[in-house]
C-alpha cells in the first residue's frame, strides 16, 4: 500500500526527517536526480542548502574571498538554439540565455562582477532584492552605465530569502527582448521546517523571431511567435522528474510581456511563496492554475503522483511555436482550388484550416517543411501520436522508482483499467441526451 507524504511524516514525526542527501554537480551545482531510497528512510540533509535544478540551464559557481561569495557575470552576444532547427543571435550572460542561476544563502555577503562585452552599454538590476540604492542597477539613476569593455562590481548583503531574478535596467526593451535575464535564488538561513525533495526553477519569456531571420525583433509588443521556459520551446524543454510521494517545488519567474496562467495536471498544488520568500503556512493556498504576472515570481509545491502530467501556460497560443498571426484560419472552407493556384506561385504551399489546425501535425508527419529557421506550431511526439504542443509546455514525469540516470525515464506505463480507451467507431453510438428543440 502506498502512503501519502503527509501520512509518512505523521507516522515518523516531522522532527526526525531532516531531508535527503544531494549531490552537487562540480561546475553547475544542479541537483542530482540519482536513484535514492524512499523519503522516509533517507539520511539527514547536509550542507547549507540543496541547490535548485534549472531546466536546460546551470548554476553559476562562486568562489569565497575573505568571507564574501564572489560571482562573475559576462554580458555578451551568443548563439542560442530554441529547439533543433531554430537558432538565433541573442544576448545573454556567460554564454547562455537565460544567464546562469545565482544561488546564495540569506545573510551571505555577495560580490558580483559584471563585464560588458556587448556593443552598447548595460547594467544589472537585482529584481526584488533588498540592497543599497546604489547597488540597484538602474542605469542613469543609481549608477553610470557599464560601457562596452568595462567591468563594474556590485556588493551587498542578502537580507531575505526567496525566488528572484536579474536583468538589465538599460535599453531594457532591446536587451531583455534578446535574452538578457536570469534567476537569483536566495535560500533561507535556517533549514525549512518542511523541506522539498525536488527544487526546479524556470524563467518565462517571449520572442519575436520572424521566419527566415536569425535575430529576435525587439520592436514587437504583442505578436510573439516563440514562448519559452528558460529560452527553450517544447519539445526541447526538459521534463521535471520526481519519485511518487516526493515534495516538489517549481519556482517560476516571468520577464515576458504577458501574464501566464501556469497550469499543472494531476495534482492540486499549493502556492507557497515567490519574491517575498516562502510564505507562512497560513498563507498557502490550493490551486491548479496560478497566474505569474509580468515581473513576478511564484513558487508552487505539490506531492508527486505517478504519471506523465502536462505543465504549461493555459493561454492556448502560448503553447504553440511560430504562428502566422495575420493569416486567417479558414475553418470549414474548401480551399482545394485556391491551394492549386497558390502552388503555381509558391511551390510546396499547403492549405490548412478546413477541418481545424490538427492538420498541421499531419503535415509534419508527411515531411512538409516550413520557412527557414522557423519551428512548427505544434510539434513533439508522444506515445500515442502527435502531442500538438509547442512553446510553454513540458511534462512532469513521476515514477514509483527512478533509474540511476533518470534524464529520460521514458513514457508512463498506465496500470490496467486506468487509461481511456476506444469503445466504438460508430458516430451514432449510444443514445446521448440532447437538449430538445424549443417549440
**pLDDT (tens digit per residue) in 291-320:** 999 999 999 999 999 999 999 999 988 888
Residue 117 has pLDDT above 70, yes or no: yes
Residue 408: predicted pLDDT: 77
- pLDDT tens digit sequence for 196-230: 999 999 999 999 998 889 999 998 887 888 999 99
Nearest CA to 52 out of 24, 71, 27, 76 is that of 24
Q: Which of 126-130, 150-154, 189-193, 254-258 has the lowest mean pLDDT?
A: 189-193
Residue range 81-101: average pLDDT? 96
Residue 330: predicted pLDDT: 67
Residue 225: predicted pLDDT: 87
393-399 and 307-313 beta bridge pairing: antiparallel
Residue 290: predicted pLDDT: 97
For the beta carbon of residue 245, count every other beta carbon within 10 angstroms. 22
Residue 26 has pLDDT above 90, yes or no: no
Residue 27: predicted pLDDT: 35
CA atoms lying within 13 Å on the CB side of residue 118:
28
Contact 305, 259 (CB under 8 A): no
| Cα torsion angle, 103, 113, 172, 236, sign | negative
Residue 24: predicted pLDDT: 32
Nearest CA to 59 out of 86, 33, 93 is that of 93
Residue 322: predicted pLDDT: 78
198-207 and 53-54 beta bridge pairing: parallel
Residue 20: predicted pLDDT: 31
Whole-prediction pTM:
0.84
Domains belonging to the chain, first-starting first, are: 50-316 (2.60.40.420)
| Backbone dihedral angles phi then psi of residue 316, each to the nearest 5 degrees | -55, -40
Q: Report which of residues 19 and 397 the model is more confident about.
A: 397
- What distance in Å separates the CA atoms of residue 286 and residue 261, rounded to the nearest whole number? 15
Residue 361 has pLDDT above 90, yes or no: no
Amino acid at each position: 500500500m502506498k502512503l501519502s507524504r503527509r501520512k509518512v511524516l505523521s507516522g515518523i514525526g516531522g522532527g526526525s526527517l531532516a531531508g535527503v542527501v544531494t549531490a552537487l554537480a562540480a561546475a553547475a551545482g544542479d541537483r542530482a536526480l540519482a536513484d535514492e531510497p524512499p523519503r522516509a528512510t533517507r539520511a539527514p540533509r547536509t550542507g547549507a542548502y540543496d541547490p535548485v535544478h534549472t531546466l536546460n540551464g546551470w548554476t553559476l559557481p562562486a568562489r569565497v574571498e575573505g568571507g564574501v561569495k564572489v560571482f562573475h557575470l559576462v554580458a555578451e552576444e551568443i548563439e542560442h538554439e530554441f529547439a533543433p532547427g531554430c537558432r538565433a543571435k541573442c544576448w545573454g550572460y556567460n554564454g547562455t540565455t537565460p544567464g546562469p542561476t545565482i544561488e546564495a544563502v540569506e545573510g551571505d555577503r555577495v560580490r558580483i562582477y559584471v563585464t560588458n562585452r556587448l556593443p552598447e552599454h548595460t547594467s544589472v538590476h537585482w529584481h526584488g532584492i533588498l540592497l543599497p540604492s546604489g547597488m540597484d542597477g538602474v542605469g542613469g539613476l543609481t549608477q553610470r552605465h557599464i560601457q562596452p569593455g568595462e567591468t563594474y562590481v556590485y556588493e551587498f548583503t542578502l537580507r531575505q530569502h526567496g525566488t528572484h531574478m536579474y536583468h538589465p535596467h538599460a535599453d531594457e526593451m532591446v536587451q531583455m527582448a534578446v535574452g538578457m535575464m536570469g534567476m537569483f535564488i536566495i535560500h533561507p538561513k535556517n533549514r525549512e521546517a518542511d523541506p522539498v525533495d525536488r527544487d526546479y526553477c524556470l524563467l518565462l519569456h517571449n520572442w519575436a523571431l520572424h521566419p527566415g531571420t536569425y535575430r529576435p525583433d525587439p520592436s514587437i509588443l504583442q505578436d510573439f511567435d516563440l514562448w519559452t521556459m528558460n529560452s527553450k520551446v517544447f519539445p526541447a524543454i526538459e521534463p521535471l522528474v520526481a519519485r511518487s510521494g516526493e515534495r516538489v517545488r517549481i519556482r517560476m519567474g516571468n520577464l515576458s510581456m504577458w501574464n501566464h496562467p501556469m497550469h499543472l495536471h494531476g495534482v492540486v498544488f499549493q502556492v507557497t511563496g515567490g519574491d517575498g520568500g516562502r510564505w507562512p503556512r497560513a498563507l498557502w493556498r490550493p490551486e491548479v492554475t496560478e497566474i505569474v504576472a509580468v515581473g513576478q515570481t511564484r513558487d508552487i509545491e505539490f506531492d508527486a503522483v505517478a504519471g506523465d502530467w502536462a505543465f504549461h501556460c493555459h493561454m492556448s497560443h502560448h503553447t504553440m511555436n511560430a504562428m502566422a498571426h495575420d493569416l486567417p484560419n479558414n475553418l470549414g472552407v474548401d480551399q482545394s482550388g485556391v491551394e492549386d493556384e497558390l502552388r503555381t506561385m509558391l511551390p510546396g504551399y499547403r492549405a490548412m484550416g478546413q477541418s481545424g489546425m490538427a492538420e498541421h501535425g499531419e503535415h509534419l508527419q508527411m515531411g512538409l517543411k516550413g520557412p527557414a529557421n522557423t519551428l512548427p506550431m505544434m510539434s513533439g511526439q508522444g506515445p500515442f501520436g502527435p502531442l500538438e504542443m509547442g512553446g510553454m509546455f513540458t511534462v512532469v514525469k513521476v515514477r514509483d522508482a527512478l533509474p540511476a540516470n533518470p534524464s529520460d525515464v521514458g513514457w508512463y506505463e498506465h496500470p490496467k483499467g486506468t487509461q481511456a480507451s476506444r469503445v466504438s467507431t460508430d458516430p451514432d453510438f449510444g443514445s446521448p441526451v440532447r437538449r430538445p428543440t424549443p417549440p
